Amino acid sequence: MLGRWLWDFIKGYIIVQIYGNRIPELINQATRENILLWEIRYHKDGSVMFKMRRQDFWQLLPHIRRTRTKVRFGRRIGLPFYIKRATHRKTFLIGAGLFVVCLYFLTSIVWNVEIEGTNKLSPETIRAAAKQVGIYRGQWLGRLPDTDILQAELLDKVPELSWVGVSIHGTKVHIQVVEKVPGIKPEPNHPQNIVAKKKGTIRDIFVSKGKATVTRGQLVNPGDMLISGSLGGGTVHVAAKGKVEADVWYTSDVIIPLSTKRMVYTGEHVNKDYLVLGSFPIQIWGYGKPPYPAYNASEDDRTFTIGSFTLPIKWRKVDIKEVHEESVTLTREEARQKALETARADVGTKMGKDGRVIAQKILQEKLEHGKLYVKVWTDVVEDIGKPQTYQQTPAEQSQNQT
């Protein structure tokens, strides 16, 4: 219905009221000739009111004359009629033009600069630095460079900041800052890129400085650039910083014996107590050899102090626990689960410190001589970025010299 109304408004339509004795004949003739009439209403005085397209009226006019019906025009609705009326009102056209010009002007400049995240620094400090890089009230939005360049320049102007985010919402510029924490190692200030150190498929990109050069779902190889420190078409070079998480795949070859032996505690234990003078132990309790063929012993020392001075005397308690050897037989399914756990531990030594395992699958398995040989595929999400010092091309070096 909305599409039909909009089309009729663009084309224009009129409201017509007709009088006479041959109105049904007129409406039937209009229907036969595909003249569209809608919202037909019959009045008590015998007249009929309906809506019709303005261009169809001239096709209906001969039938109006033939049936000797009288016509009375009502409202004319639609864009063509409004345009015609506007052309006779020059003042209205001038005012509408001035309104459009003023609206364009008012929406093309910065009206508000909002600072958020300051703690020790004052917002006026950030506002002054922003004005130096071109962000101030009254600035043309079209003259502002890319937000990546603005962020890099603000970081250079205010070294007390560790991160700056600039976003433009209509006529408002929002600046989000994060101040440096005392004692934290300063970030590198020499130009650098972030490149891939492993092969993987990009999952998430978090850029705090620089410009991302890859997208989600993209496959990258070692050495491919992830975050560029070159901004503004190569006019500005910064130390790119960010985190690029990707799906990285590892394969591990694991061998799991189905039958193994392990030492387990029986629950039996004895204690021996010693008084240690310096490094010389004197046994006080629990004489004799341990009454177990196999055992584990653990020591617990207690020191004595007077104020801040530690006496050269210790009380040592030795707990001797009996153990015995036990045979363990794994089912094939239990061996598979142990292979997955072993592969996860193996991958944990290879992936980044913030990596996490999201999926594992057994690709191959073979049972020979009481051992299960398993090849495990592990999917890990980890940060694959590493910094790479930016090297200027000869063309850029010559351009900077000039």
Strands 172-179 and 112-116: parallel
d(CA 262, CA 292): 17
| Assigned domain for 35 exists | yes
Asked if 228 and 299 sit in the same domain, the reply is no
Calculate the alpha carbon distances from 287 to 115, 156, 279, 304 in Å.
Answer: 76, 74, 20, 24
Q: What is the pLDDT of residues 132-175, one digit of tens each?
A: 888 988 888 888 888 878 888 888 888 888 888 888 888 899 99
Residues 318 and 337 in one domain: no
For residue range 254-267, list pLDDT tens digits in order: 999 988 887 888 88
- The percentage of residues in the chain with a pLDDT greater than 70, rounded to a whole number, is 91
Q: Is residue 52 part of a domain?
A: yes
Specify if 95 maps to a domain.
no
- How far is 402 from 395, CA to CA, in rounded Å? 11
In whole angstroms, give the CA distance from residue 261 to residue 276. Answer: 37
Number of domains the chain contains: 5
How confident is the model at residue 402, as a pLDDT?
45
Tokens of 343: 């592969």
Bridging pattern class, strands 48-53 and 37-42: antiparallel
Q: How many CB atoms lie within 10 A of CB 399?
A: 12
Say whether both 343 and 376 belong to one domain: yes
In a domain, 199, yes or no: no
**Residue 359 pLDDT greater than 60, yes or no:** yes
Q: What is the pLDDT of residue 21?
A: 84
Last residue of a domain, one of 308, 326, 344: 326
CATH assignment at residue 154: 3.10.20.310
pTM of the shown model:
0.46
Task: List CB contacts of 79: < 8 A, sequence separation 6 or more.
Answer: 9, 10, 11, 12
Backbone angles phi, psi at 176, to 5 degrees: -105, 125
- Nearest Cα residue to 150 out of 175, 170, 120, 171: 175
**Which two structure tokens, joined as six digits, stand for 43?**
């009045």
Question: Residue 152's domain spans which residues?
Answer: 112-179
Between the CA of residue 305 and those of 229, 275, 283, 385, what are the distances in Å? 59, 15, 21, 52
The model's pLDDT over 71-118, given as tens digits with 9 standing for 90+, comes to: 888 788 877 777 776 666 667 667 777 878 887 777 888 888 899 888
290 and 354 both lie in a single domain: no
DSSP letter at 239 equals B
Q: Which two tokens stand for residue 158?
A: 């205010």
Residue 97 lies in a domain: no
Q: Is 18 exposed, middle or buried (0-12, 13-18, 19+ CB in 10 A)?
A: buried
